[in-house]
Structure 1
Amino acid sequence: MARKRIITPEKKELINKLISEYNITSAKDLQEVLKDLLGDTIQNMLEAELDEHLGYEKYETTEETKTNYRNGHTSKILKSSVGPVEIDVPRDRNGEFEPKVVPKYKRDISDIENKIIAMYARGMSIITGLKYQQRW
């Protein structure tokens, strides 16, 4: 006998919101939404990682002298179980930023996809996710 899946009201609400917001009508539409969400999640995690590395958030002004600055982005196409995902990896001026979410030269992210899904299932924010990611 198959195990009955229990969907919490919160998950059901989230699913309905995604279906209506993205107008999901087929499996292909769902795959595109998953690619979009995965790319956005990784992108936001990389931005938060750079904030942590530099010690200040984007557009934050401080009185103290900064020794390193943001320096644009580089495009990167990642291989995932839902297809290719394009992201923009943030850079710093001194070239010291070494992303941990998607390390330099790494293209296959199928190993971290399940971790990101688990993170969402736990209701973690991006910052909490970065702390969770430290344990990977």
Structure 2
Amino acid sequence: MSKSISNIDWMNQLENVIREFVKEKLELIMKEEIQTFLEMGQEGTSNRRNGYYQRNLDTQYGRIEGLSVPRDRNGEFQTQLFTPYQRHTGWLEEAIIKMYQSGMSTREIGKFIERILGNAYSPTTISHITDVVKEDIAKWHTRPLQKRYSVLYLDGFSL
């Protein structure tokens, strides 16, 4: 008797494989970054690798847990992949702003993010993120309009 994998299990396995792949590639990039940093920027000094620290990072592929970030003895190395204390990539803010612009409420956005990442964002946090676009929206609403607009309307039918 053969066992079949349910659709949900298959999707979960696929998401886990993708997250693991992304984690491996991010760690590989950071290893190359610190290697280059120590070879080029630290010649003639006693600075060298000093292990790793763990970081969780929320990405568009989900939460990557236990990401090993290399460090140096002098504490001068900083990866270019993310800033210190950054816990999520910029995709999240962009997604929140797009959802807000399309008319979703802050509570709906929070529920959506919770389904994706597994942790909730409060409506207040989402409001702080969407405040970025409120100024742009206000400018767009109060922009001067031209007196005359040219419009071309085409309609077609084909058999």
Q: TM-score, normalised by structure 1?
A: 0.53
Instruction: Write the letter of the residue equivalent to 1:72.
Output: G
Moved over 6 A (4+): none
Structural RMSD (CA): 2.0
Residue from 43, 49, 62 that aligns with 1:70 = 49
Q: CA deviation at 1:66?
A: 4.5
Instruction: Write the letter of the residue equivalent to 1:76.
Output: R
Q: Which runs of 5+ in 1 are unaligned?
A: 1-24, 57-63, 112-136
For residues 17-72 of structure 1, what are the alpha-carbon distances to aligned partners after superposition, in whole Å with 9 as ceiling and x for unaligned?
Answer: xxxxxxxx71111100110011111111111100010008xxxxxxx855211001
Which structure has the larger Rg? 2
Match of 2:87, SS? coil
For residues 74-120 of structure 1, what are the alpha-carbon distances to aligned partners after superposition, in whole Å with 9 as ceiling and x for unaligned?
Answer: 00000122321020100000000011112211111254xxxxxxxxx
Residue from 17, 30, 35 that aligns with 1:33 = 17
Which has the bigger relative contact order, CA under 8 A and spacing at least 6? 1
Q: Which runs of 5+ in 2 are unaligned?
A: 1-8, 92-159
1:44 aligned partner:
28
Q: Does 1:88 align with 2:68?
A: yes
Identity of aligned residues (%): 29
Tell me, yes or no, if the aligned pair for 1:81 and 1:110 is still in contact at 8 Å: no
Q: Does 1:99 align with 2:83?
A: no
